Every structure is written in structure tokens, then in C-alpha cells.
């Protein structure tokens, strides 16, 4: 008799098919895991969000418990209903966790901060003059690399002087995919006119490149994964370029509801060859490359100061608002507090806060040691107006200034001979330079306007400066120049200024022409 059964229809064939499907599934899972592991930097943000939101677990447990209870009681329950329970618990719990996290962060900041009777005086030899928007314009205007553009923008100390630093990143799709960061552009922030320097040299892991050449991809894969990386900044040390990335890590609290608060975790330092050093705060402070640099995360400093609104409890922020504060909103052209200033005690962050509501007086000034993260708060004993009002007084003093074309920018607190001033930079609408700098006495509202960097330093040293009469010109002690000569680029940027006094003269010589250029 002929066997007419189909091949593979016996039990052994079925087991072979089952094993084949299982092997194929296992291979697919392994491939998916390998691909996910390789591309894990792309998922870091989502993973970190879930990791720092323990209410996800609570909401899942509550939804599962409610679903199981109703199911045992034969209550008709769909998957959408279970998902709805999860979402409701998660939203409500996350809102409550956010309030408790703010209170925890604010009360701990108040407890760990030191009350001070005054602010550190600004280093007159290294004043903060150039705003971020103007520095970006200076860096772009002097750029001479057709395949690259500037990206980023942060403060670094170079040769002992604070500079705005930018990465030379590939420009255009083809260059973005094929090229690395080509160098660093440095703009001296202590000089009113454009003083730029470019340090060239490709970085294997840089800023503004394709992901496989990007610092973040490299840092997440080879450094800490469950942390929050801040914006990077460039460091040039002994001719070598580095990318420094401060980061925060979460601290878990389980009562009264599960929540997390951020704390400084350390600094990732990447050299031009792509070697990564993951430094603790103490290691970062002692590292020779990071000597004199700011290290503490800027966003964490602002977040901690802002959280002190909860100093009298959560309920107070919804009811009487007793002693409640808010970080003062200031004009900054895409740059906001904290502002970095170099004081006689080193680089510090300053954050001015106002009373909650419509009041514009100065409630407190917080200073943060940018290398240690130590917080201090100064509460004036007298009535002083805040940074927003200071910009109003600048407008009132300069009645001939066309405020449709200029704007006061980045008011920072400075102390000169015990007097509290707001230093306000007046910037053209196109950020082509610094028109002048106004010092506003926070007690008397007197406004002193100066135009030259030397006058800024002289004022910070305590030299007598005549209050301005509203024409935008101030003068320090001594003879005024009879002539001011400016070297101006084709795009209108003032590159250099020369002051000529009465006992001096100027001589202009035409440079030799290149005989081969046909002119």
C-alpha cells in the first residue's frame, strides 16, 4: 500500500517547523537588540525620562491592581479602560510629584546656601562687555571657512580671559555627512570691538556633525547613560581643543510620592582624538585642562534658584505668596539668567530674583561658584530696583536713542565701591556691535553711559564718571580724545578703534599692491 501522507505532516515535522520558527524569532530578537544597543544614544532621552519618573511604576501598579480587582468581580473592563486608569493616575501623580520635587529642591537649596552681606566685586580687568548675540555676529562676520559655520555658543576662559566660544561645524548636507568639526572660534567678551581668534584642527567627536562624528553620540555610548547632559562648551588648552559637557544625575525620593531631583553629576571631557574622560566634580576641579573654567551646570543653577519659590511650602505658592520669588525676566537676545561674570573670587553665576507678581524691585541676588556649586544669596537692606526697571531707566536717560533700532540687553549686577549698579549693554537691533554701556545705580537710578572698553574698566575700578545728560556719551576723568579712528569691515562691523589725543597725530600709508592681480 502506498503511503499518501503529506511530507512533514507527522509529529516530527511539526516539531521541526516549531523549532525553525523559534530559531528565526530568536535571531530577529537578537538582531533587534543588537541594533537597539548600537543606536542606544537615540533612545537616551526617552529612557532617562522614564527612569526619572518613578510615578510610571506607581501608575502601572495601580492600573494593574484596579484591573485585576474589577476583573475578579466580573466587571466588564476593556484594554482601553485599563489604559485610561494608567493615564489618569500617571498625570495626577506626575503633577503632584513635580510640586514635591520643586519643594524638595527649593528647601534644600535654601538650607545649603549661605547668606552674604554683599556681592563680590567684578574683576575690572576682565569685564563682561560683549553680549551673546553680538558675539555670534562677530564670529559669523569674521568667518573665512566656506565649508563651515559656527554653532553652539558658550563662555570659556582662554589665556586667562573669558571668551564666547563656538564650534566650526560642517555647513551643508554633504559636508555635514562627510566632515568633522574643524576648530573653535573664540570671541573676546571683554573687548567692545570684534576681537576673534580661530583655532583650527579637526575633532573626531565634535559639535554640529553627523551622529557618528557627534560628541553626544560618543558621550552617551561611552560615558554615563542615565544622566542629563548639559550644553557643551569648547576649551582650548595649550593649543589642544576639548569638548566639555557638564551633566546632572537624578536623586530619588520616595515620600510623600515618588519623585526625583537633579544634582550635579560631573563633567565629560573629550579631546580632539575622541578620548573620553568621565570626571566627578572634584576630579573636574583638579583637572589641568579645566583650570579656571566654569563647571557647574548653568540650567541647574537656574532651576535651583527658581525652586526657592517653595521656601514657605507648596500651599503658600497657591494662596498668600508670602516671600515668594521669581527669576527676573530680562532682555537678553536668546540669552537668559544666570549670567557668568568674572569676579575677584573667580567665575560666578549671578541670578537676580524679584518678588512674585507685578513688583519689579530687587528681592535677592543669588551667586553660584561656577566651580564648586556653592550657593550664596544676598538680600539688600534697602529698597533697590530690579533689572527690568534698570532697562527702563536706560531708555529714559538716552532720550535721543532710537529705541526702535536699539535694545537694552543682559543687565547684570555689579558692585563698585560698595554701590550696587546694573550694567546694561545697549545693542543695535541687528546685533552688529555694542552701541554703549550704561551703569544704572540701583538705589538712585542715576545712569552713567560709557562707550569704550577702557571706560568700563575705569568705572569698575571706581574712577569718577560724569552722569550722562541723555546723549549717549559718558566721560571718565582725564583728557578726552580729539579724534577716534575706526577700522570697519565690509559688513559694517567695527574691528578696531584708535583714540588720538591732542599731542598725537595719525599717519595713513597705502599698502603695496600685488603686481600680479592686474590692478
Question: How do residues 190-219 score in pLDDT, each as one tens digit?
Answer: 998 889 999 999 999 999 999 999 999 999
User: Which tens digits make up the pLDDT trace of 332-343?
Assistant: 777 889 999 988
Instruction: Give the CA count within 13 Å in the CB-facing half-sphere of 453.
Output: 19
Please tell me the predicted confidence (pLDDT) of residue 302. 96
**Rounded-to-integer distance, Cα 442 and Cα 84, Å:** 54
**pLDDT per position as a tens digit, 170-192:** 999 999 999 999 999 999 999 98
Quick one: pLDDT at residue 81?
79
Q: Is 64 helix (H, G, I), strand (E, B) or coil?
A: helix
Dist CA 206 CA 214 (whole Å): 5
The pTM of this model reads 0.83
Radius of gyration of the chain (CA): 30
d(CA 155, CA 87): 42
* pLDDT greater than 60 at residue 8: no
Task: Read off the pLDDT of residues 351-361 as tens digits, 9 standing for 90 and up.
Answer: 999 999 888 89
What nine digits make up the cell of 469? 545728560
pLDDT band at 447 (very low <50, low <70, confident <90, very high): very high
Average pLDDT over residues 415-424: 90
Is the pLDDT assigned to residue 416 strictly greater than 90? Answer: no
Task: List residues bridging with 406 in a β-sheet.
Answer: 428
Model confidence at 505: pLDDT above 90: no
Strand (E) or helix (H) holding 219: helix 215-222
As a whole number of angstroms, the distance between CA 123 and CA 129 comes to 12
pLDDT tens per residue, range 107-166: 999 999 999 988 888 889 999 999 999 999 999 988 889 999 999 999 999 999 999 999
Cis peptide before 5 (omega within 30 of 0): no
pLDDT value of position 6: 45
Note the pLDDT tens digit of each residue in 96-107: 999 999 999 999
Longest dimension (CA), the chain: 128
Could you give phi then psi for residue 123, rounded to 5 degrees? -65, 110
Q: Is 11 exposed, middle or buried (0-12, 13-18, 19+ CB in 10 A)?
A: exposed
Given a cut of 50, is residue 515 above it in pLDDT?
A: no
Residue 93 neighbours by CB distance under 10 Å: 20
Amino acid at each position: 500500500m502506498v503511503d499518501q501522507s503529506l511530507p512533514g505532516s507527522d509529529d516530527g515535522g511539526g516539531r521541526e517547523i516549531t523549532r525553525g520558527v523559534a530559531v528565526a524569532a530568536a535571531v530577529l530578537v537578537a538582531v533587534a537588540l543588537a541594533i537597539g544597543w548600537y543606536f542606544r544614544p537615540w533612545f537616551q532621552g526617552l529612557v532617562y525620562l522614564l527612569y526619572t519618573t518613578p510615578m510610571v511604576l506607581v501608575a502601572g501598579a495601580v492600573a494593574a491592581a484596579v484591573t485585576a480587582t474589577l476583573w475578579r468581580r466580573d466587571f466588564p473592563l476593556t484594554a482601553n479602560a485599563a489604559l485610561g486608569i494608567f493615564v489618569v493616575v500617571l498625570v495626577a501623580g506626575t503633577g503632584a510629584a513635580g510640586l514635591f520635587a520643586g519643594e524638595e529642591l527649593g528647601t534644600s537649596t535654601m538650607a545649603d546656601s549661605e547668606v552674604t552681606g554683599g556681592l563680590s566685586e567684578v574683576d575690572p580687568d576682565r569685564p563682561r562687555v560683549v553680549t551673546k548675540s553680538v558675539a555670534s555676529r562677530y564670529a559669523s562676520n569674521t568667518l573665512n571657512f566656506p565649508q563651515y559655520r559656527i554653532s553652539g555658543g558658550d563662555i570659556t576662559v582662554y589665556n586667562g580671559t573669558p571668551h564666547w566660544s563656538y564650534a566650526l561645524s560642517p555647513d551643508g548636507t554633504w559636508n555635514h555627512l562627510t566632515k568633522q568639526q574643524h576648530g573653535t572660534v573664540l570671541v573676546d567678551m571683554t573687548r567692545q570691538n570684534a576681537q576673534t581668534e580661530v583655532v583650527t584642527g579637526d575633532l573626531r567627536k565634535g559639535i554640529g556633525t553627523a551622529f557618528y562624528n557627534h560628541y553626544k553620540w560618543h558621550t552617551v555610548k561611552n560615558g554615563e547613560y542615565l544622566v542629563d547632559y548639559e550644553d557643551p562648551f569648547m576649551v582650548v588648552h595649550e593649543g589642544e581643543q576639548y569638548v566639555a559637557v557638564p551633566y546632572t544625575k537624578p536623586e530619588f525620593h520616595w515620600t510623600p510620592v515618588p519623585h526625583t531631583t537633579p544634582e550635579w553629576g560631573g563633567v565629560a571631557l573629550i579631546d580632539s582624538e575622541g578620548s573620553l574622560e568621565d570626571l566627578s566634580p572634584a576630579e573636574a576641579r583638579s583637572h589641568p585642562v579645566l583650570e579656571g573654567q566654569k563647571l557647574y551646570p548653568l540650567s541647574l543653577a537656574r532651576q535651583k534658584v527658581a525652586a526657592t519659590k517653595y521656601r514657605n511650602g507648596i500651599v503658600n505658592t497657591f494662596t498668600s505668596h508670602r516671600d515668594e520669588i521669581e527669576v527676573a525676566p530680562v532682555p537678553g537676545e536668546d540669552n537668559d539668567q544666570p549670567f557668568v561674570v568674572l569676579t575677584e573670587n573667580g567665575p560666578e553665576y549671578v541670578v537676580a530674583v524679584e518678588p512674585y507678581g507685578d513688583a519689579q524691585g530687587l528681592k535677592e541676588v543669588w551667586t553660584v561658584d561656577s566651580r564648586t556649586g556653592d550657593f550664596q544669596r544676598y538680600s539688600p537692606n534697602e529698597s533697590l530696583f530690579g533689572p527690568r526697571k534698570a532697562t527702563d531707566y536706560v531708555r529714559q536717560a538716552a532720550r535721543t536713542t532710537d529705541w526702535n533700532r536699539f535694545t537694552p540687553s543682559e543687565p547684570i549686577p555689579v558692585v563698585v565701591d560698595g554701590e550696587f549698579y546694573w550694567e546694561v549693554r545697549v545693542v543695535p537691533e541687528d546685533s552688529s556691535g555694542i552701541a554703549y554701556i550704561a551703569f544704572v545705580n540701583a538705589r538712585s537710578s542715576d545712569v552713567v553711559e560709557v562707550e569704550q572698553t577702557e571706560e568700563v574698566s575705569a568705572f569698575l575700578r571706581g574712577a569718577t564718571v560724569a552722569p550722562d545728560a541723555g546723549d549717549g556719551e559718558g566721560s571718565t576723568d582725564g583728557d578726552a580724545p580729539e579724534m577716534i579712528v575706526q577700522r570697519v569691515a565690509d559688513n559694517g562691523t567695527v574691528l578696531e578703534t584708535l583714540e588720538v589725543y591732542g599731542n598725537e597725530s595719525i599717519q595713513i600709508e597705502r599698502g603695496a599692491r600685488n603686481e600680479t592681480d592686474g590692478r
